C-alpha cells in the first residue's frame, strides 16, 4: 500500500510538472512577443562597445556596433569564435564568426548551448 501511495503521488507530481512546463512555455512566448513589440515600437537601439589593450604597443582600441530591432534574435547564442590552436597552443579569434549565431532549444535542458546561455544570465 505504501508503494502504491508513493506511485500515485509521483503521477500527480508528474502531471502538475508537465502542466506547469506548458504554462511556463506559454508565458515565455508571451513575454518574448511583448519584448519584440516594445523594441520595434520604441525604435530601440542597443550600442555595444568593446575596449581592449593591444599587448605589443599597449595602445587602447575600441570597437562599436549598434543593433536595432531587425538585428535582435531570440533563442540564439553567439557561435564560438575564440579557441586554442591545437598546433601552437595559442589563443585565436576567428573574426569571420564574430557575428554568427547558432540556435538553442530552451525546451531542452540537455542543450549545452542553452545551459551556457542560462548560466551566463544568472
Give the pLDDT score at 121.
44
The alpha carbon of 95 is separated from its chain's Cα centroid by a whole number of angstroms, namely 20
Q: Which residue has the higher pLDDT, 41 or 19?
A: 41
CB 89 within 8 A of CB 110: no
Query: Does residue 114 surpass a pLDDT of 60?
Result: no
Residue 81, C-alpha cell as written in the block: 569564435
Give the pLDDT score at 13.
53
Q: Which residue has the higher pLDDT, 87 or 72?
A: 87
CB 120 within 8 A of CB 104: no
| Range in 5-14, 35-44, 99-108 with the lowest mean pLDDT | 5-14
CA–CA separation, 55 and 81 (whole Å) = 20
Q: Is the pTM of this model over 0.85?
A: no
CA–CA separation, 75 and 80 (whole Å) = 16
Amino acid at each position: 500500500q505504501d508503494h502504491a501511495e508513493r506511485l500515485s503521488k509521483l503521477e500527480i507530481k508528474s502531471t502538475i510538472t508537465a502542466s506547469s512546463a506548458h504554462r511556463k512555455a506559454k508565458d515565455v512566448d508571451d513575454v518574448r512577443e511583448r519584448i519584440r513589440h516594445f523594441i520595434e515600437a520604441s525604435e530601440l537601439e542597443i550600442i555595444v562597445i568593446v575596449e581592449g589593450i593591444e599587448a605589443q604597443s599597449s595602445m587602447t582600441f575600441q570597437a562599436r556596433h549598434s543593433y536595432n530591432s531587425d538585428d535582435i534574435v531570440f533563442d540564439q547564442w553567439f557561435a564560438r569564435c575564440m579557441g586554442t590552436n591545437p598546433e601552437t597552443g595559442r589563443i585565436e579569434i576567428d573574426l569571420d564568426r564574430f557575428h554568427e549565431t547558432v540556435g538553442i532549444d530552451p525546451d531542452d535542458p540537455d542543450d549545452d548551448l542553452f545551459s551556457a546561455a542560462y548560466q551566463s544570465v544568472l
